[in-house]
Amino acid sequence: MSKNPENISAWTRFIKSMTKVHDIATEEDIMTDHDYDGIKELDNVLPPWWLYGFYITIVISMGYYFFALRGDYNQYDELRADVAQAKVELDAYKVANPDLFSVTNLEVYTDAENLAKGKELFAAKTCTACHLVDLGGGIGPNLTDNKWILGGGMDDIFNTISKGGRPGKGMIAWESSLSKQERQQLSSYIISMIGTSPAVPKAPQGDITWDGK
């Protein structure tokens, strides 16, 4: 490539201006007196693109400081506003989809088709991770005995599935992702397994005794 500046393309000139790269032939001009076992040091300047980026971050940080730390903005107020807005939207969603959240007129399914669907949901929604495949209990309680922590029976089981388990125990609320019928199918399957004999049953937990009525 010709070293005549007039023969260098505009793009090449732009790259040179942004990098300040010296050609090998001109390295002698920026050679320092530092010598380390024959290895010499070049006095290269910081690339302008890096300096421009650094200056831009300084300007942005100053703006952030005055806007976020010195101004009226408060991230906690923003969080509270977002939570309040989410509650409004959730309430509107519940009104628009009453079937998803209604806990009235619950039906305990006993037919094979609905119980099979409940069994499928029990596995698909990872209930088995805490209660095991045979519902004998692992991290979560045994679901085959008559002792219950949050209450047995269709209403209580359905409510636990819908609203989630005890805080900090890991069971999430399924009311927004499972239809009312699916939650009834899941509850009905659990009820159908009460009184069965799991391989390694966990000791009964809870103070509520449900006799199946």
Q: Residue 162 sits in a domain of what CATH number?
A: 1.10.760.10
Structure tokens at 124: 């698909």
Instruction: Let me know whether 53 and 123 are in one domain.
Output: no
Flag whether 84 is in a domain.
no
Residue of 90 and 122 predicted with greater confidence: 122
**What CA–CA distance (Å, rounded) separates 185 from 110?**
9
Instruction: Let me know whether 115 and 191 are in one domain.
Output: yes
pLDDT at 157 over 70: yes
Flag whether 80 is in a domain.
no
Instruction: Let me know whether 48 and 138 are in one domain.
Output: no
**What CA–CA distance (Å, rounded) separates 207 from 213?**
17
Of the listed ranges 25-29, 97-101, 118-122, 195-199, the one predicted with least confidence: 97-101
DSSP-derived letter for residue 40 is: E
**What CA–CA distance (Å, rounded) separates 120 from 182?**
10
Residue 59, φ and ψ in degrees, nearest 5: -65, -45
Which amino acid is residue 123, in one-letter code?
Answer: A
**Statement: the pTM of the whole predicted model exceeds 0.85:** no
Of 22, 54, 69, which marks where a domain is finished? 69
Exposed e or buried b for every residue in 51-73, given b needs 16+ CB within 10 A?
Answer: eeeeeeeeeeeeeeeeeeeeeee
Flag whether 90 is in a domain.
no
Residue of 57 and 76 predicted with greater confidence: 57
Flag whether 65 is in a domain.
yes
Quickly state the pLDDT bin for 76 (edges 50, 70, 90): confident
Of the listed ranges 54-68, 107-121, 187-201, the one predicted with least confidence: 54-68
Instruction: Let me know whether 53 and 133 are in one domain.
Output: no
Of 45, 69, 93, which marks where a domain is finished? 69
Instruction: Let me know whether 155 and 108 are in one domain.
Output: yes
CA gyration radius, the chain: 34
Q: Apex CA 152: angle with CA 97 and CA 179, to 5°? A: 20
Instruction: Let me know whether 112 and 193 are in one domain.
Output: yes
Instruction: Let me know whether 109 and 195 are in one domain.
Output: yes
Residues whose CB falls within 8 Å of the CB of residue 182, separated by 6 or more in sequence, listed in order: 117, 121
Flag whether 19 is in a domain.
yes
The residue segments making up the domain with residue 112 are 104-209
Query: What percent of the chain stands above pLDDT 70?
Result: 92
Instruction: Let me know whether 31 and 116 are in one domain.
Output: no
pLDDT at 1 over 50: no
Query: What percent of the chain stands above pLDDT 90?
Result: 41
pLDDT at 7 over 90: no
Instruction: Let me know whether 110 and 202 are in one domain.
Output: yes
143, 171 Cβ separation under 8 angstroms: no
Flag whether 61 is in a domain.
yes
Flag whether 76 is in a domain.
no
Number of domains in the chain: 2
